[in-house]
Amino acid sequence: MLEDNYKQRGLRKKLVKILEKKGITDPRVLQAIGKVPRHVFFDNALLEHAYQDKAFPIGEGQTISQPYTVAFQTEKLEVKPGDKVLEIGTGSGYQACILLELGARVYTIEYNKKLYDTARTFLPRIGYKPYFYFGDGSKGLPAKAPFDKILVTAGAPVVPESLTKQLAENGILVIPVGARDKQRMVRIRKKNGRLTKEAFDYFSFVPLLGESGWTR
């Protein structure tokens, strides 16, 4: 299952082309998508789904995000090599791998113990080593703040104040905000201590749980 053969590399190239057609332009983001093997996050029987541009269940009622969504959020995050990035919602760990490919130092936090345990064991096996945390990421990770970039990969009812507080000067927060089943992608920048907000397309994420998220 961990092999990466010419067929899988070919399917990944096709996926990159699809994402380009859908409007992803950052060459570094496209290169990262072209590099990280997505099929290793799937069971053998489900391999045909790995390079389709769709979200997929990973158990525990959660999903590995659609490649387009991963690319869109990553592009909006403007990751530079050496950036200290907090990802909220480790899930499968795929997004964390993309951030690592961009040269970021990645702190990723997951609220579901089983998913946290799986990702923490699996990612290093395929060569990716973010810092793993288990807990409520809606509160951020105050012990390790500030962060140059914060990426929330679950849908939030509001922008948690704890996250904007943990953003470094010139930092960027990307977060889907809105209803439980449909959210608008929002980007917040901190400049001279002030926050500016931009809103983009609508997406459909699983809910962000926890103190500043949804109650179950």
- Give the catalytic positions in this structure: 65
Q: Where are the alpha helices (DSSP H) in the chain?
A: 6-21, 27-35, 67-77, 94-101, 113-125, 161-165
Residue 136 sits in the site that holds ligand SAM (CB under 6 A) = yes
| Closer CB to ligand SAM, 133 or 188, in the complex | 133
> What residue has token string 């057609």?
21
Residues of this chain, 2-61, that bind ligand SAM according to CB under 6 A: none
Side-chain-side CA neighbours of residue 167 (13 Å): 29
Min CB(90)–ligand SAM separation in Å: 6
Q: Mapped to the 3 state alphabet, what secondary structure does 101-145 carry?
A: HCCCEEEEEECCHHHHHHHHHHHHHCCCCCEEEECCHHHCCHHHC
Please identify which residue in 130, 137, 171, 176 interacts with ligand SAM, judged by CB under 6 A.
Answer: 137
Min CB(51)–ligand SAM separation in Å: 15
Min CB(55)–ligand SAM separation in Å: 7
In the complex, which residues of this chain contact ligand SAM (CB under 6 A)? 62-65, 88-89, 91-92, 94-95, 109-112, 115, 136-138, 153-154, 205-206, 208-210, 213
